[in-house]
Amino acid sequence: MQLTAPLDMHLHLRDGEMLDNIAKSSAQTFSGAIIMPNLVPPVSTKEEVIAYKNRILNAIGDEQFTPYMTLFFKPTYDKAFLESIRDEITAIKLYPAGITTNSEGGVSGFDVEELRPTLEAMSELDIPLCIHGETNGFVMDREAEFVSIYERLATAFPKLKIIMEHITTKESVAALDKYENLYATITLHHLLITLDDVAGGMLKPHLFCKPIAKRPEDKVALLKVALEAHPKVMFGSDSAPHPREAKEACGCAAGVFTAPIALQVLAELFENENAPLENLQAFVSGNAQHIYGVKPLPKTVVLEKKPFTVPSSYNGVVPMYADEEIAYSIKEIIYG
């Protein structure tokens, strides 16, 4: 099985030692990725975007990988600033304030008129808006409650390309076909688990994430659009590394680390569900290229059906399926 120019359209690489430790886990097998800007402090200036990109390139060494950079959304960005940074970024990421890791500087309200100057400028400059779509309501209802905000924004800014990040609910899936300018990323772990897998028995901290895994009917809805390669959905791992001590602790950090095994497990999932290879190719690359207009570096990942035991950790970060056997291995990577 071969996958050409695989892309991860939602990736956390962190910074400092963590960046150095895990960046190659993605760069080895993906041609590129949309890089999240929620560092401390968040990436919110042109200088910070360029500096962070350079740190990523240093961390990946000789790997052929394009970090598609994003800016942390602020409603004060004007058109002149966005024009000055347009060539350095692929998208802008909006976080509701305090809703997830390092999002305290996010948006506190979603008043359309307050956001209008920045969002209209983004529309004119064709800069996509990526949104972590959750309210601060009851944890299982947060994403479904946010759909009305997506609808309000999609209607108010019809030329703005809006990416619903890491969707987890049937309500978000339904919204895809209601609004021409709504798109979505879907993670590996949300295609595989429900809340029962996280907390139905003994708590599994390495499966705890935000948005939290939902109900079986939500997973069914996600699987359907992923397996059929719905043209408005694309793979975004939301691979979010934390040190073991931050996950196996009171106040468990949110995030599932899937970067090193994502393509192998997706291959197994699509095979088990009898989905054609061309659908997997579209889900992990083709759709993203069309939606974002990117041209990834040439890289072909050759997978073989050979059992692979997932390591217990990658430089101190525990991956999904640690110490378990998965069906596919990476045989080789072909460049050019």
**Which residues in 142-155 are b (16+ Cβ under 10 Å) and which e?**
bbbbbbebbeebbe
Supply the range of the domain harboring residue 158: 2-335
CA angle, 20 then 260 then 311, to 5°: 95
Average pLDDT over residues 156-164: 98
Please give the structure tokens belonging to residue 269.
């999932």
Average pLDDT over residues 43-68: 98
pTM as predicted: 0.96
Rounded Cα distance, 211 and 208, in Å:
9
pLDDT band at 110 (very low <50, low <70, confident <90, very high): confident
Average pLDDT over residues 109-118: 90
CATH for 38: 3.20.20.140
Could you report how far apart the first and last alpha carbons of the chain are, in Å?
Answer: 18
CA distances from 82 to 42, 73, 92, 109, 110 (A): 17, 11, 10, 22, 20
Q: What pLDDT, on a 0 to 100 scale, did the predictor assign at position 257?
A: 98
Q: Enumerate the active-site residues.
A: 238
Please give the structure tokens belonging to residue 136.
């601060």
SS3 content of the chain, % helix, strand, coil (to 5): 40, 20, 45
Q: What's the structural domain count of the chain?
A: 1
* Helix H or strand E segment including 284: none
CA angle, 298 then 86 then 66, to 5°: 20
pLDDT band at 147 (very low <50, low <70, confident <90, very high): very high
**Which residues in 30-51 are b (16+ Cβ under 10 Å) and which e?**
bbbbbbbbbbeebbbebebbee
The count of other CB atoms within 10 Å of the CB of residue 177 is: 11
Please give the structure tokens belonging to residue 213.
């895994």
Answer whether residue 44 shows pLDDT above 90: yes
pLDDT band at 108 (very low <50, low <70, confident <90, very high): confident
